[in-house]
């Protein structure tokens, strides 16, 4: 096939963003244009909504390096609902430049189910992530300047927990020493950089419901501890106003469109393995004001993004999904069934059958939350009828709704079957329940996630994490939800344990309180908060063509 | 006075940017809107110009911490020319967030001679500087990844000259070690961060005249040396395409407006002490296509920005200024005459007279270039008639054109006298000549700058610089212009030597070849390529008001 996402995007007819806004009921004065095809929405200027739309959450089985097309299905489902004359808005995350330059080349859906203008969205978009990077690093500079200028707050340089960030995959910055070179160059100390999308400010931006809430959350962020081990916050430094100023435009949701002209709100972009993995609450709630149905996705498998969507994002927003779609592919099932990536093109329905255990666990997880999921079996050209039949037969036997989707090639048309099932689910009230209460002990909350979501046996805390837990309790920070940092490839904390591992114990290496975001990050396994680039970064294929157009964004 | 720049800006009537574009002859389809009051100009879609406009360069005496209002005079002069019915565009640099957060609070002119929307321009604007930061740090990540993945090019980690950047004043990042933590975290090495506006990519963006030229310059950048001391370029790494892709929108000039509705192109923002200090060549040349007169500024005193404007920027653009304005203030002259900053409010015409030597040197310098300068004596409320008379009398005696300006309070009206003199100068051909040829030896070029521009006796190279010079010659890189990195406060390399020091020798500490920018950076004195924050950063006063508006940008 000579089509690429980029070539399809370039051939597509894109409408002026004012037209898209108009179709979504957004008045011109609530729009701040960024070129002809992107706009920020000034939420304060929107008409009040009579009621809020229903929410369809798209999640997936445990992903594989092959890619399952979750964003593609999310976009295709929205376009299909539009074809069925529903009032619909799709709400996605903003791509991080790190993976775009590293492995992905792009993250805006694919084929005939993508958002436009894909070049801009994949590069700097409207600058939100740059604003977050800037605010994060301004805070770091204020902290180091405070140390340098006399350290009135008695901050212990060894106990500064605030890290710098870049929106790049840059492993050499994971662990650094700063302030070298003598007394004029600051105070030497150990430091490190995370990727911006793993930063607390990204989470804060994604969970704030107003500018005031944003400022209050920024003020509450803990940046480290004094020599007496008292927490030091942004409020103590007095810079929450400056940080809010740097973020005031970034807080406004961005409006773009799908290739079929469905309004798309793309805003906020935390990763789901090392952060909470959902687009912004502002975006989802804005979308709910504009449409009867909002289709949104959460990152990676249901063990990561969906779990955090339920326990962190929608809990803050006081809502829950009205329907859940789990995306699966024959290729991913084969990998979970033991096939190596290089052999995926060979038909192997036995491997598909063996791999279904992974999908089955995610179905069980969504049912644990009281929601009956729908499986979207996303077709690839290499899938054989025999392989597809394996999955379809299993779903029938288990009485799970399943639809084949072919949205990459067909756009919304390829998602009509899925859309019809989703509409039925939306008409059926569900019995949603959280799997833990915020007031439960940290150990109970962890156990709930490990046992009910991961299907593991138990959880254990490293010595470091145990000491941190004692501190957390001392400060009264233990009544917060958990944000697990775990590999996306396995239900366990071992990336190579595919399928449905059982009897495993999850080890919590470290617990990092994020008081601004309002959750406790629990690091498991070898998970890194700053990725690295591969041997052949995607950037090597990127270029600008003769007419100034992007080349090499897939 | 209860007015602030921000309060005046907020009260001002701002026109839709389409109207400003129309008045400048820019068609709607050549505009890419960023909100209602900012736009990027797609230069390829502009009508061809019958002739290019004349250029007025605004420079200054050696600045003082008090601030002389050079940008303010630049804006006011443009507004005055507009009042005189001239076709005029003003071309300025983009403010760096580092100084905005640190000491300045804002850098968009002042009072009734400023550019709008000042909040946006001072914060993220259209994201150009963020794009430069991103491209710079992507390159750094590609370099460290190359080391980590086997180092096929045999890059010597001790001889990597490419530094990371942030657009922040952050002294703790001047000298760092990266890649710590074991084999999975990259290769340990010494590194450092510069401020983005001092980066080579900023210079490349400001000197490129097309996307192809940008890509070629990026490809030529030297990032370090192999173990065999052979230079390694971006082309060797194969990532010039990706860097160009990251910068393709940043290369487009930005259109805004002055408070009086004069079109303003604000694009590129290198500092003039540690970089070449001029806005982009694209911006100036675009402005020349749109107007008969372009008023532009170069940073700090005529020894820095103006010298680099002549020898680097306008040489690349194959033009030279048609008129030069030197901004002076009574306050600055008093400081050059020995008055401490705290005593500036007291009238002291003796000190003014003593300080005039500094201004006199800058007048001589501009005359060295074959141009007869005009002095803009920029009034402050504390100036006394006696003090002003001192300067006016001297200028009359020396037969130098001088105009009093009062643009902060009066806008263009306060610059009419200056505008009339400038118009006369523009009607008089000048005898422009460079003070050195690119083909001169590095020592000759340095001596020309030190003797003819700084008024010093001689130049000497540190041992390190001498060794670097030998290498430069070996690689054939010595036929490039010089970009001096020198304190802005003194004509010498000693910040405390105010007035007109004589007989001094400038020491070149280090010579850094910037092949993409096409110049040799020569570091003098203690000049830092990464500033620090002051004890009380301006950020402490920043906030967002109830209506989401900026607070604390002066």
Please tell me which residue in B72, B262, B405, B529 is annotated as part of the active site.
B72
Instruction: Specify whether A272 is catalytic.
Output: yes
B179 CA: distance to closest CA in chain A (Å): 4
Encode pLDDT of A170-227 as tens digits. Answer: 999 999 999 999 999 999 999 999 999 999 999 999 999 999 999 999 999 999 999 9
Is there a binding annotation on residue A70? Answer: yes
pLDDT of A105 strictly over 70 = no
Spell out a b/e string for A17-55, using b for 16 or more CB atoms within 10 Å of the CB, else e: beebbebbebeeebbbbbbbbbbbbbbeebeeeeebbbb
pLDDT of A374 strictly over 60 = yes
A149 CA: distance to closest CA in chain B (Å): 6
Fold of the domain built from segment(s) A5-127+250-426: Rossmann fold (3.40.50)
End-to-end CA distance of chain A: 13
Residues of A in contact with B40 (CB under 8 A): 35
| Global pTM value | 0.96
Interacting residues of A415 by C-beta distance below 8 A, sequence separation 6+: A73, A76, A77, A79, A80, A113, A376, A403, A405, A406, A407
Encode pLDDT of B233-285 as tens digits. Answer: 999 999 999 999 999 999 999 999 999 999 999 999 999 888 999 999 999 99
pLDDT of A66 strictly over 80 = no
Instruction: Specify whether A394 is catalytic.
Output: no
Determine the pLDDT at residue A68. Answer: 86
CATH 3.10.410.10 correct for A442-524: yes
A250 CA: distance to closest CA in chain B (Å): 10
Distance of CA B247 to the CA centre of its chain: 19
DSSP letter (8 states) at residue A415:
G
Q: Which of A81, A91, A61, A69 is nearest to A422 (CA)?
A: A81
Determine the pLDDT at residue B548. Answer: 86
C-alpha to C-alpha distance for B442 and B440, rounded to whole angstroms: 6
Residues of A in contact with B176 (CB under 8 A): 176-178, 180
Residues of B in contact with A124 (CB under 8 A): 127, 130-131, 134, 246, 249
Written as one string, the DSSP assignment of B97-137 is HHHIIIIIS--SEETTEEEESHHHHHTTTTSHHHHHHHHHH
Residues of B in contact with A184 (CB under 8 A): 171
Q: What confidence tier does A103 reach under pLDDT thresholds 50, 70, 90? A: confident
pLDDT of A41 strictly over 90 = yes
Strands B176-178 and B88-92, sheet pairing: unpaired
Written as one string, the DSSP assignment of A193-248 is EEEGGGSHHHHHHHH--SHHHHHHHHHH-EEEEETT--EEEHHHHT-HHHHHHHHT
Q: Which two tokens stand for residue A491?
A: 């239900």
- Residues A240, A218 contacting (CB under 8 angstroms): yes
B303 CA: distance to closest CA in chain A (Å): 27
Q: Are B211 and A548 an interchain contact pair (Cβ–Cβ within 8 Å)?
A: yes
Instruction: Specify whether A519 is catalytic.
Output: no
Q: Are B169 and A141 an interchain contact pair (Cβ–Cβ within 8 Å)?
A: yes
Please tell me which residue in B112, B125, B271, B380 is annotated as part of the active site.
B380
Sign of CA dihedral A476, A480, A483, A484: positive
Cis ω before A117 (30° cut-off from 0):
yes
CATH code of the domain occupying B128-247? 3.30.1510.10
Is there a binding annotation on residue B65? Answer: yes
Q: Are A148 and B532 an interchain contact pair (Cβ–Cβ within 8 Å)?
A: yes
C-alpha to C-alpha distance for A300 and A298, rounded to whole angstroms: 7
Supply φ then ψ for residue B332, to 5 degrees. Answer: -65, -40
Sign of CA dihedral B130, B133, B136, B140: negative
3-state helix, strand, coil in chain A (%, to 5): 40, 20, 40
Encode pLDDT of B117-145 as tens digits. Answer: 999 999 999 999 999 999 999 999 999 99
DSSP H helical ranges for B320-431: 330-336, 349-368, 385-398, 407-410, 416-426
Angle (deg, nearest 10), helices A240-247 and A200-207? 70
Spell out a b/e string for A105-138, using b for 16 or more CB atoms within 10 Å of the CB, else e: bbbbbbbbbbbbbbbbbbbbbbbbbbbbbbbbbb
pLDDT of A157 strictly over 90 = yes
Of A35, A175, A242, which has the smallest distance from its Cβ to B33's Cβ?
A35
Please tell me which residue in B10, B15, B104, B452 is annotated as part of the active site.
B104
Is there a binding annotation on residue A48? Answer: no
Least confident interval from A323-327, A494-498, B1-5, B187-191 = B1-5
Encode pLDDT of A218-233 as tens digits. Answer: 999 999 999 999 999 9
Structural domain spans, chain A? 5-127+250-426, 128-247, 442-524
Q: Nearest chain B Cα to A169, which residue?
A: B141
How far is CA A104 from each of CA A529, A533, A537, B534, rounded to the nearest angstrom? 18, 11, 9, 41
Determine the pLDDT at residue B502. Answer: 96
Encode pLDDT of B388-446 as tens digits. Answer: 999 999 999 999 999 999 999 999 999 999 999 999 999 999 999 999 999 999 999 99
Strands B254-258 and A88-92, sheet pairing: unpaired
Mean pLDDT in residue range B26-45: 94
Q: What is the overall mean pLDDT for chain A?
A: 95
Is there a binding annotation on residue A529? Answer: no
Residues of A in contact with B145 (CB under 8 A): 170-172, 532-533, 537
Determine the pLDDT at residue A517. Answer: 97
- Residues A483, A522 contacting (CB under 8 angstroms): yes
Residues of A in contact with B185 (CB under 8 A): 171-172, 174-175
Of B166, B185, B239, which has the smallest distance from its Cβ to A172's Cβ?
B185
Q: What is the overall mean pLDDT for chain B?
A: 95
Q: Are B241 and A548 an interchain contact pair (Cβ–Cβ within 8 Å)?
A: no
Determine the pLDDT at residue A10. Answer: 78
Q: Which of B270, B265, B154 is nearest to B203 (CA)?
A: B270
Virtual torsion, Cα A511, A515, A516, A521, nearest 10 deg: 20
C-alpha to C-alpha distance for B407 and B405, rounded to whole angstroms: 6
Q: Are A245 and B185 an interchain contact pair (Cβ–Cβ within 8 Å)?
A: no
Which uninterrupted H or E stretch holds A472? helix A463-475
Determine the pLDDT at residue A1. Answer: 42
Residues of A in contact with B245 (CB under 8 A): 123, 542-544, 550-552
> Mutate which of B132, B141, B249 to disrupt the A interface (most A C-beta within 10 Å)?
B141
Supply φ then ψ for residue B221, to 5 degrees. Answer: -60, 135
Q: In the block, which residue shows the tokens 């597809």?
A: A388
Residues of B in contact with A178 (CB under 8 A): 172-173, 176
- Residues B132, B199 contacting (CB under 8 angstroms): yes
Instruction: Specify whether B82 is catalytic.
Output: no
Which residue(s) pair with A375 in the sheet?
A326, A402
Instruction: Specify whether B250 is catalytic.
Output: no
pLDDT of B37 strictly over 50 = yes
B161 CA: distance to closest CA in chain A (Å): 16
Of B133, B532, B544, which has the smallest distance from its Cβ to A241's Cβ?
B544
Determine the pLDDT at residue A2. Answer: 54
Which uninterrupted H or E stretch holds B256? strand B254-258
How far is CA B526 from each of CA B7, B486, B493, B507, B529, rounded to the nearest angstrom? 38, 8, 8, 10, 10
Complex ipTM, two decimals?
A: 0.95
Q: Nearest chain B Cα to A17, which residue?
A: B33
Q: Which two tokens stand for residue B468?
A: 């670097």
How far is CA B364 from each of CA B61, B450, B495, rounded to the nearest angstrom? 11, 14, 21
Mean pLDDT in residue range B86-90: 98
Of B176, B245, B551, which has the smallest distance from its Cβ to A544's Cβ?
B245
């Amino acid at each position: 096939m000579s089509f690429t996402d980029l070539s399809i995007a370039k051939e597509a007819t894109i409408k002026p963003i004012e037209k898209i806004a108009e179709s979504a009921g957004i008045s011109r004065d609530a729009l701040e244009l960024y070129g002809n095809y992107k706009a920020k929405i000034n939420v304060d200027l929107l008409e009040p909504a009579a009621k809020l739309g229903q929410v369809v959450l798209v999640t997936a089985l445990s992903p594989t390096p092959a890619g399952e097309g979750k964003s593609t299905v999310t976009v295709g489902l929205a376009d299909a609902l539009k074809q069925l004359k529903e009032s619909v808005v799709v709400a996605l995350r903003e791509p991080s430049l790190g993976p775009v330059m590293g492995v992905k080349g792009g993250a805006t859906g694919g084929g005939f189910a993508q958002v436009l203008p894909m070049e801009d969205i994949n590069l700097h978009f409207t600058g939100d992530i740059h604003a977050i990077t800037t605010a994060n690093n301004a805070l770091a500079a204020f902290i180091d300047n405070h140390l340098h200028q006399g350290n009135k707050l008695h901050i212990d340089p060894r106990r500064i927990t605030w890290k710098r960030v870049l929106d790049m995959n840059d492993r050499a910055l994971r662990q650094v020493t700063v302030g070298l070179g003598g007394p004029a160059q600051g105070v030497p100390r150990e430091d490190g950089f995370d990727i911006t999308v793993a930063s607390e400010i990204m989470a804060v931006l994604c969970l704030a419901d107003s500018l005031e809430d944003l400022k209050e959350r920024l003020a509450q962020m803990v940046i480290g501890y004094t020599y007496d081990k008292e927490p030091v916050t942004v409020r103590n430094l007095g810079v929450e106003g400056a940080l809010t100023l740097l973020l005031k435009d970034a807080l406004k949701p961005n409006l773009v469109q799908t290739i079929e002209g469905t309004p798309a709100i793309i805003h906020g972009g935390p990763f789901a393995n090392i952060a909470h993995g959902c687009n912004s609450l502002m975006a989802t709630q804005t979308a709910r004001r504009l449409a009867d149905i909002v289709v949104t996705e959460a990152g990676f498998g249901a063990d990561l993004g969906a779990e955090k969507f339920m326990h962190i994002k929608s809990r803050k927003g006081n809502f829950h999904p009205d329907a859940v779609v789990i995306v699966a592919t024959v290729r991913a099932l084969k990998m979970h069934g033991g096939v190596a990536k290089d052999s995926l093109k060979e038909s192997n329905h036995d491997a598909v059958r063996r791999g279904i255990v992974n999908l089955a666990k995610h179905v069980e997880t969504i049912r644990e939350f009281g929601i009956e999921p729908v499986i979207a079996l996303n077709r690839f050209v290499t899938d054989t009828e025999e392989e597809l039949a394996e999955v379809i037969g299993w779903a029938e036997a288990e009485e799970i709704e399943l639809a084949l989707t072919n949205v990459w090639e067909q756009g919304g048309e390829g998602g009509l079957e899925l859309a019809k099932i989703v509409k039925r689910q939306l008409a059926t009230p569900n019995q949603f329940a959280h799997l833990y209460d915020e007031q439960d002990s940290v150990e109970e909350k962890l156990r709930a996630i490990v046992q009910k979501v991961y299907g593991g046996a138990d959880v254990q805390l490293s010595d470091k994490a145990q000491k941190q837990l004692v501190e957390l309790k001392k400060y009264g920070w233990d009544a917060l939800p958990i944000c697990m940092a775990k590999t996306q490839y396995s239900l366990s904390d071992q990336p190579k344990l595919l399928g449905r591992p059982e009897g495993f114990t999850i080890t919590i290496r470290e617990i990092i309180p994020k008081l601004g975001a309002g959750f406790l990050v629990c690091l498991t396994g070898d998970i890194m908060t700053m990725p690295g680039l591969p041997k052949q970064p995607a950037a090597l294929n990127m270029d600008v063509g003769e007419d100034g157009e992007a080349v090499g964004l897939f």
